[in-house]
Amino acid sequence: MTLRALRTLVMQEDLNFLLTNRVPRIALTRAMGRFSRIRNRWVCRASIGVWRLFTDLDLSDAVPVEYRSLHECFTRELVPGARPFDPDPAVLASPSDGIVGAFGQVVDGRVFQAKGYPYSIEELFGPTQDTQPFRDGVFLTLRLTSAMYHRFHAPHDCTIEHVTYLSGDTWNVNPIALARVERLFCRNERAVLRARLREGGHPIALVPIAAILVASIRLKFIDLRLHLRYLGPDEIGCKVPVVKGEELGGFEHGSTIVVFAPRGFEPCAGIGVGTRIRAGQPLLRLPEREAQDRAQDGAQPDARPGAPDAQPGAQSGVSGPAG
């Protein structure tokens, strides 16, 4: 059987769903976590070689390094400038690499993960969170494939105000599973990052969602790793100012991030279902009134108190706003 035929077979919907969902998902996820951390260059090289057979893995923009484990390759950092963030203060940039999935208006607190499969933001955010700012807002789903860059960043100058951790299952989050499993995002392990933009004071939320083989989310801004065996507090209050492009955290492998913003935000030009996007590229535009006021006043975004002179995110290969 040729490699192309094997890829086609694996992506056959019924077989793909069977192989990636009708299995002991959590046990396999934990086993993958242990395997990925084996520090042996031959195991690592062989694993990356197999990985390349089934994905478009591209390490050309990664910091040159001899990976000691598969985990180090998954969580790689990029060379400086590999992901420049759009400096326009009227733009909410993409927090991560990804493929745009479902997006549009939140209607009375209901969102669609796929056609015919709605879920409520109350269930996604958990019972402790006030979802009122987003009940008639906008949402956009970004799916990270296993080969993509797995860190995520601040989409705008903002303050991270709260983190909610919700443990759960590890269903696959590919389009095949999303079209078959109701409320899938609400079943999986996830974190809810609540933030407030310094531009206009708008609230936003980022919801990183884990998946099979990917049940671990590292948050850099509070130095915390959330995973299936995490026993710490589920509600984490914080007041962490970050600048556009600053690294917030990352997945251990890859998964999905759902972005929420209030009414008035609009998708940027070129954003559509299936669009491949990189961290830093324009994702949503702030409400027009804010943009007009800013243009008239010539206002600039506030500088982060105590921020270093270096470009934000430079160690992760991400450039902040020009100048």
Which residues are catalytic, by number? 97, 153, 255
Q: How many CA atoms lie within 13 A of 139 on its CB side?
A: 29
